Structure 1
Amino acid sequence: MRILVVSVVYNSTPPIGYGGIQRVVHSLVEALVEFGHEVTLVAPPRSRCSGRTVEVAAYDPDRPWVRIRREGDLLSEEPLYETLVELTRREQFDVIHDWSFQNLFPVRHPDVLPAVISTCIPPPPGFSRSNLVASSKAHAELCGEGTRYVHYGLPLDDWEYTLSKSDELVHIAKIARYKAQHLAIMAARRSGRKLALAGNVEEPLYYNALVRPLLWMSRHVSYLGEISGTEDCLREAAALVQTPRWFDAFPLVILEALASATPVIAFAEGGVPEQVIHGETGFLCHDLSSLTEAFERLPEIDPQKCRDDAERRFSSRRMAEDYLDLYRRAMAGDNW
């Protein structure tokens, strides 16, 4: 199968620094190539894959990823569109898989190629796409009737893990109100567990007014700052803690923890309940009280079960197989 994969334009694929969705796209492409398909990846400069990469020179991979709060924060996807127009004029493909935010090519030229469109964020008002694929069942329900979903996967053969854990939990996320690090700190204080926070400060006011004072008062809680990758931090952690206060569609860091044989303690928001098996690979929580209880019950979780579940449900090969089925449906004329 000749597959044209379009990545997002805000970083290279795989990413330089932050960029969870770019890691997902890269893992998918590598698995598709491993299965013997001809894959062309269209992405910003310094992107790479085992297939062929077409770089869109207009985008700067050194531009830091920022939270998109308003229309002015969006990059124009017109250069990406122009590259796709030229590429499809001179070459033939069987299907296009578009991960971009605006999906300009499949929207403007729906009859040129069978298309599958993936989304990684809650839909904005009025958002509608044919052959839309979400990242979780909860995400698909939010996107609207008929939306399919494919859970993300990781290249588990390359993912190192250990069953020997430290006594310190870790919270990995941007420091921002919607990530609610203050609740994780309070749970650590109540339970007496060690906790490390990792992530860049996205909201300085939240960090200085709430997180920083709690750190000063909590001798068992530390702040690591921004980290370059999650693997080393997760491998020996007693657990990953996630406290989202928004619809988190399908956070990749939770899969990375399970792949590391590391239990997960998380608020049951968005697609998180589809990732964590309560009482087996971690605990699903709803408030500070249940979060504190989960910290105290952590010894009940067997790290081996976390890795086993990752291998059973969250490999990049399984993700590629699920998408290949949707490619075939789109090529056969199926629309959803």
Structure 2
Amino acid sequence: MSLQLPDKWIWDSWYVQVDGVTHAFYLHASKALGDPDRRHRHPIVGHAVSTDLTNWTVVQDALIISDAPAFDDGTTWTGSVVQDDDGLWWMFYTGTSRAEDTMVQRVGAATSADLLTWTKVSTEPLVEADPAYYEKLDLSVWHDEAWRDPWVFRFPGESTWQMLITARSSSGDPRVRGVLGHATSPDLREWTVQPPLSQPGQGFGQLEVFQFEIVDGVPVLLFCCGVSELSPERQAAGEAGGVYSVAVDARLEQVDFTGSVLFDRTDLYASRLLRDADGGWVLLGFINIVDGEFVGTLSDPIPVTADPVLGLVHRPVAGAAIAATAVADDALAAAAL
């Protein structure tokens, strides 16, 4: 079964797959809070492991907030994990501070030799929004300063590290300023904020929890957006919000979110692409709202592949294909009687 904690809500997650084991890092908070909306101010980064993406063993928590004063003494939110060339694991994560009422988001890091015990790099952030390109806190325009969900990776054969970030442009219609924030680093410690890799006005107030992968030969960007932060046009078209994807070029040089397609599992949010035991791609996210109630568990893996126009689509699995063939054969036999 999927990862479910009876006394806690789970939401955003990120993963590492190594030596046949999948490490899930995820945000969780106690249900003793009563209102699930309160979870955002009380998160802990949890950790669980699995060999099949369905049966999970919870291990010790990975991160909590720092003692004040620190950039992350308010919350520790979504991130990603990579391994450097010396074998050290780096977790990049979002932090906010109590001094700013958790309204300003910045990115920091922690390191680990074994993926279990993590040591924060600094009480200061490593990356924050540059007003030359990105919107800073202005509550008359937006409800926070968006600079979160760092997705860190390298293009094949290159030494420079890339970071994709949930961000908003400093210009354009405030309703659709969501852009693909970008920073680069030679060593994972020193980061240079770059101009966004997309333009504002492409249909989203913000684009959350990015992931870039080449799925079955198709370069794809995965992200999510809630219904209230969609463009008026997407809302008018009846989109429910959820998990989106868009096919892109392999260097992320011409990212255009206007062609983004909503995945049909609209109960999912903040999903991630992983490999199953057979090497196929699957999608895991948290179950968000069902029948008007927040659920807060991880989903079971959903087999997917990619289409150059539609982005992520369901991947037929052998059992389903056999069952579909059997149904069709039965229908033909019945018609022949």
- TM-score by structure 1 length? 0.25
More strand by share: 2
More helix by share: 1
Whose RCO is larger (CA < 8 A, sep 6+)? Answer: 1
- TM-score by structure 2 length? 0.25
